[in-house]
Copies of this chain bind each other. A is one copy, B any other.
Amino acid sequence: MAGNSFGELFKVTTFGESHGKALGVTIDGMPAGINFDLDFIQSEMNRRRPGGNTLGTARNEGDEIEVISGVFEGVTTGCPITLIIKNTSQKSHDYSQIKDVYRPGHADYTYEAKFNVRDYRGGGRSSGRETSMRVAAGAVAKLLLNQVGIKIKAGTIQIGDIKAENIDFNHDFNNELSCPDEDISTKMVELIKKAKDDLDSIGGVIECHVNGMIAGLGDPCFDKLDALLAHAILSIGACKGFEIGKGFESAKLYGSQNNDQMKMVNGEITFLSNNAGGILGGISNGNEIVFRAAFKPTPSIYKEQETINKNHEDVTIAIKGRHDPCIVPRAVVVVEAMTALVLADRYLVWRAYDAR
């Protein structure tokens, strides 16, 4: 209700502020008896961590997972799994610049409008650092999904106005953007560097593919699988748009173009296209799930901007500190994680109601 939980059967609650003692997550609903592969979870954390590539900042947050509960002798116990990462670099920062000023494009103003108090240290709870715990929970969800062969893979397909042309997800991505088009990725990297040089930032688009789907996940009416995915993905701080399958393009099409016709091919039920993106009537059809998410440029820029302060006076701000010129590369694993949370949840719902 207060917004820090997600999921119904695979229920995740996150806590912690950017510059508080620690960030953490409690997963209530992981079935018992599953091998808890901590190395995998840590490797997922490392994919999100800043300092992991040449594009981000010099920060090295560490983000080492500590297991507090729910795991015994290497397996899950059915009891709540709590994972935390400590904020090691809790040195005394200078917050005088942002303490009383609302940074444009940030949640500073709205948090204060809502709560009347604000933890201004590094954005507090509204910091992108909050997504670390989504990645941790998503990694646990992937452990569950792995058991039934569901595989999630996201990649960068657009930075600014540069779009990947060859969007083939069936190979390893060998670039720091996780872009499926290796050639185009170098141009994307240049654009990010240019934005950085301009004291600015740039947005982008992430595409996500899910394979090995069970037909029948998702629930009618309000808990349609794509609606839950949209909820999950839009809940990532900088996300401004979501589309499934053909998405906004489908608005331009005729029904005869957009419908995925069916045929038996080698004895298998086969869709002749996948404009739906793997979901029909809110329920997975067994096809690959494909969706895209638009991310705005990170609002923290070094350029001077107009804004107001707590006393409602006009001021200008050129945000100091270390910040990414483009959040997209680090958001790839966050998109996967949120997808995993939705699918793990609906997989358990399916077990409750529909598994035969």
Q: Give the CA-CA distance A115 to B352 in the complex, in Å.
A: 12
User: What residues of chain B lie closer than 8 Å to A305, measured between beta carbons?
Assistant: 256, 259, 261
User: What residues of chain B lie closer than 8 Å to A229, measured between beta carbons?
Assistant: 234
A200 within 8 A of B: yes
How many of chain A's residues have a CB under 8 angstroms from any CB in B?
Answer: 156
Residue contact A203 to B252, C-beta cutoff 8 Å: yes
Q: Which candidate, A42-50, A146-154, A167-175, A289-297, is the interface stretch facing chain B? A: A289-297
Partner of A107, one of B113, B253, B280, B297: B280
Residue contact A75 to B230, C-beta cutoff 8 Å: no
In the assembled complex, the CB of A114 is this many whole angstroms from the nearest CB of chain B, namely 4
Q: Give the CA-CA distance A147 to B108 in the complex, in Å.
A: 28
A349 within 8 A of B: yes
- The digit string for A233-254, where 1 denotes a CB below 8 A from any CB of B, is 1110100111111111111111
Partner of A348, one of B17, B28, B280, B352: B352
| Copies of this chain per assembly | 4
User: What residues of chain B lie closer than 8 Å to A81, measured between beta carbons?
Assistant: 15
Residue contact B216 to A110, C-beta cutoff 8 Å: yes
Q: Given that A264-B313, A308-B262 are contacting pairs, would A280 and B106 also be in contact in the complex, using a CB cutoff of 8 Å?
A: yes
User: What residues of chain B lie closer than 8 Å to A249, measured between beta carbons?
Assistant: 294
User: What residues of chain B lie closer than 8 Å to A281, measured between beta carbons?
Assistant: 106-107, 110-111, 126, 237
Q: Give the CA-CA distance A347 to B68 in the complex, in Å.
A: 29
Residue contact B220 to A3, C-beta cutoff 8 Å: yes
Residue contact A21 to B230, C-beta cutoff 8 Å: no
The residue on B at minimum CB distance from A75 is: B117
Q: Give the CA-CA distance A256 to B160 in the complex, in Å.
A: 13
Residue contact B105 to A255, C-beta cutoff 8 Å: yes
Q: Give the CA-CA distance A201 to B251 in the complex, in Å.
A: 11
User: What residues of chain B lie closer than 8 Å to A200, measured between beta carbons?
Assistant: 254-256
Q: Given that A105-B255, A124-B72, A201-B254 are contacting pairs, would A110 and B280 also be in contact in the complex, using a CB cutoff of 8 Å?
A: yes
User: What residues of chain B lie closer than 8 Å to A69, measured between beta carbons?
Assistant: 15-17, 20-24, 125
Q: Given that A205-B251, A296-B251 are contacting pairs, would A235 and B282 also be in contact in the complex, using a CB cutoff of 8 Å?
A: yes
The residue on B at minimum CB distance from A70 is: B15
Q: Give the CA-CA distance A104 to B273 in the complex, in Å.
A: 11
The residue on B at minimum CB distance from A103 is: B259
A37 within 8 A of B: no
Question: Which residues of chain A in 267-326 are interfacial with respect to chain B, using CB atoms and an 8 Å cutoff?
Answer: 269, 272, 275-277, 279-286, 294-301, 303, 305-308, 312-314
Q: Give the CA-CA distance A207 to B353 in the complex, in Å.
A: 31
Q: Given that A17-B69, A235-B224, A296-B251 are contacting pairs, would A78 and B314 also be in contact in the complex, using a CB cutoff of 8 Å?
A: no
Q: Give the CA-CA distance A22 to B66 in the complex, in Å.
A: 11
Question: Which residues of chain A in 117-169 are interfacial with respect to chain B, using CB atoms and an 8 Å cutoff?
Answer: 117-119, 121, 124-126, 130, 158, 160-161
Counting from the closest, the 7 A-B pairs by CB-CB distance are A107-B281, A3-B219, A241-B243, A3-B223, A201-B255, A231-B231, A110-B283
**What are 22 residue pairs bridging A and B, where the CB atoms are less than 8 Å apart in the complex?**
A1-B349, A2-B29, A3-B221, A15-B69, A15-B80, A33-B117, A72-B124, A73-B117, A79-B119, A102-B262, A106-B280, A109-B262, A202-B254, A202-B255, A240-B244, A240-B245, A240-B251, A241-B248, A253-B296, A256-B303, A257-B297, A275-B296
